[in-house]
Chain A
Amino acid sequence: MIRLVFLLLTLATPLRAESIVLGLSQDSVSITASFDGSDILIFGAVSRTAPEPTDLGPLGVIIAVSGPDQPVSVFRKARQFGIWINADEVEVDRAPSFYAVATSAPIADILRDTEDLRHRITIPRAIRSVGATVSDSAAFTDALIRIRARNGLFQMKEGTVDLQQDTLFRTSFRLPANLLEGDYLARIFLTRGGRLIDEHSTVIPVQKVGLERWLYNLAHVQPLLYGLLSLVIAVAAGWAASAGAAALKR
């Protein structure tokens, strides 16, 4: 009997006092011909099995959405022989093609650095670069972040998660038009006093559909046919324009 109680206790401990319940405005993103970026609304609630443990510090919600990872080469130009050429290169082994972080408060207040390091939450942590031969390789990853941020591909939005009564939260992300296809991962972190207390993740597939899908597949599966098709269109269009111009002249 005592053993059974003990067993129940050990089973019960992983049950967190506070956990995440999540909702999304859309389960997937379809890239159609008229696709011009998309907004995704992420909302949810904090469910509790016990009264709110306010003595452990303030509650924080951090939501990170990341696109498919790719290796990226970062080149730096330098002046040689009077012209600017790519002199140094750093290979970033893995960088997300899209990365956005939204938080309910300034990130320093709700996330400890050790937790950030472990879970790769903030933008610099999400980029991995090993074995860089250039001494100041940090400047290269900074440049990567700067350039992608300028294109709307990296977003750091502190304080944009609307957290109400420490229970309901919601935020929206803007996915830009130059979006890469693939599975986008939305991770929701719940912190208390900077410490992670729950994590929830969900996948949002981003896919081309319809004509976009068909053309993309044709180009990759039947490249010869695709090439011939584009040439036929080109020649036909050229002929049509010529015939049209002749008809107009008459």
Chain B
Amino acid sequence: MQLYLPIAEVSVNIFLILGLGGLVGVLSGMFGVGGGFLITPLLFFVGIPPAVAVATSTNQIVASSFSALLAHLKRRTVDLRMGTVLLIGGLIGSSLGLVLFNYLKSLGQVDLLVSLFYVVFLGIIGALMLIESLNAMRKARKPGGARKPRRNHNWVHNLPLKIKFRVSGLYISVIPPLLVGVLVGVLSAIMGVGGGFIMVPAMIYLLGMPTKVVIGTSLFQIIFVTAYTTMLHATTNYTVDIMLALLLIVGGVIGAQVGTRIGLRMKAENLRILLALLVLLVCGKLGLDLILQPSELYTLKVPGAA
């Protein structure tokens, strides 16, 4: 069944798009990532113009994250105070990121830069998470060696402006989470994603937050940052396709509910290994695209549409 999209100006198969939305929704619920780093390339692949794909996927992320957040709120696994601090950083960061993005656009080669950003960040984060989770699993398996709660007292704990984050069980300075928020904001504006795949590991390893709280809190921040990005795209580039978004959303919200349930039944280490593998898979695919000779050396760009 075909549907013509008014903004993307292409005709798509309804069930294909619903399926894509559903798949990304499951991941969103399981890992607390928005799924932008997956949905955007997938939409390119089915023939949606890149600008529309980027803008519309941010709108879809709002819906799937909201659905997943409600599930987490019910279980009280959201640190609202931490989320707010991250959000303030995020909004500052995405505004900075947008300025940087437009500057790079004026230089050309913005596509390459986005790809490189993806490869570098996905590669580093995926590898770090995989190594850490495998180590944790090995320790947990050792007889008698039950996993100790991680209490790494590093420089993060010696900064001023300390605040109590009760849900996370932390008493740390607001400066590190604020900086994490800014970094994620910058990256999300450049890469056109929610930034969960960067924020989740940063919260676990840098701030030392418990994994269960991390996902809900990251969802909270993602909703506001992606809503802000959606509005920016809608008002400056007119590239948000509401029909495409609706299809992705219907698939996505259902998937997110499924994903949240799967996530709660799985062990935190296993969850992290899966996310690490997924991140590395996307990184590998993008990396290969840069290294291998493309079958078509030429690409077309129509000003305004792309």
A216→B240 CA distance, assembly (Å): 10
A144→B300 CA distance, assembly (Å): 7
Those of A199-250 within 8 Å (CB) of chain B: 208, 211-213, 215-216, 219-220, 223-224, 226-231, 233-235, 237-242, 244-246
CB nearest neighbor in B for A143: B298
Counting CB contacts under 8 A, is A184 at the interface?
no
A201→B73 CA distance, assembly (Å): 64
Which applies to chain B's interface (DSSP): helix, strand, loop or mixed?
A: helix
Counting CB contacts under 8 A, is B238 at the interface?
yes
Assign chain A's interface to a size class. 35 or more
A74→B298 CA distance, assembly (Å): 7
A151 to chain B minimum Cβ distance, whole angstroms, is 9
A241→B256 CA distance, assembly (Å): 9
Taken residue by residue from 71 to 114, chain A's Cβ proximity to chain B (1 for < 8 Å, 0 otherwise) reads as: 11111111100111110010000000100000000000000000
A residues in contact with B301, CB < 8 Å? 72-75
B262 to chain A minimum Cβ distance, whole angstroms, is 13
The 8 Å CB contact of A35, one of B11, B111, B112, B235, is: B11
B residues in contact with A181, CB < 8 Å? 9
The 8 Å CB contact of A235, one of B2, B63, B299, is: B63
Those of B20-75 within 8 Å (CB) of chain A: 47, 59-60, 62-67, 69-71, 74
Those of B249-306 within 8 Å (CB) of chain A: 249-250, 253-254, 256-257, 289-294, 296-303
B120 to chain A minimum Cβ distance, whole angstroms, is 12
Those of B222-251 within 8 Å (CB) of chain A: 227, 230-231, 233-235, 238, 240, 242-243, 245-246, 249-250
Q: Are B10 and A227 in contact (CB under 8 A)?
A: no
Taken residue by residue from 94 to 127, chain B's Cβ proximity to chain A (1 for < 8 Å, 0 otherwise) reads as: 0000000000000011011000000000000000
CB nearest neighbor in A for B306: A73
Q: Are A223 and B67 in contact (CB under 8 A)?
A: no
A residues in contact with B245, CB < 8 Å? 230, 233-234
A37→B111 CA distance, assembly (Å): 30
Residues of chain A whose beta carbon lies under 8 Å from any beta carbon of chain B: 31-37, 70-79, 82-86, 89, 97, 140, 143-144, 146-148, 177-181, 208, 211-213, 215-216, 219-220, 223-224, 226-231, 233-235, 237-242, 244-246
Q: With A77-B294, A237-B246 given, can you name 4 additional A-B contacts, CB distance below 8 Å?
A: A70-B302, A75-B301, A147-B300, A238-B62
Residues of chain B whose beta carbon lies under 8 Å from any beta carbon of chain A: 2-4, 6-7, 9-11, 47, 59-60, 62-67, 69-71, 74, 108-109, 111-112, 227, 230-231, 233-235, 238, 240, 242-243, 245-246, 249-250, 253-254, 256-257, 289-294, 296-303
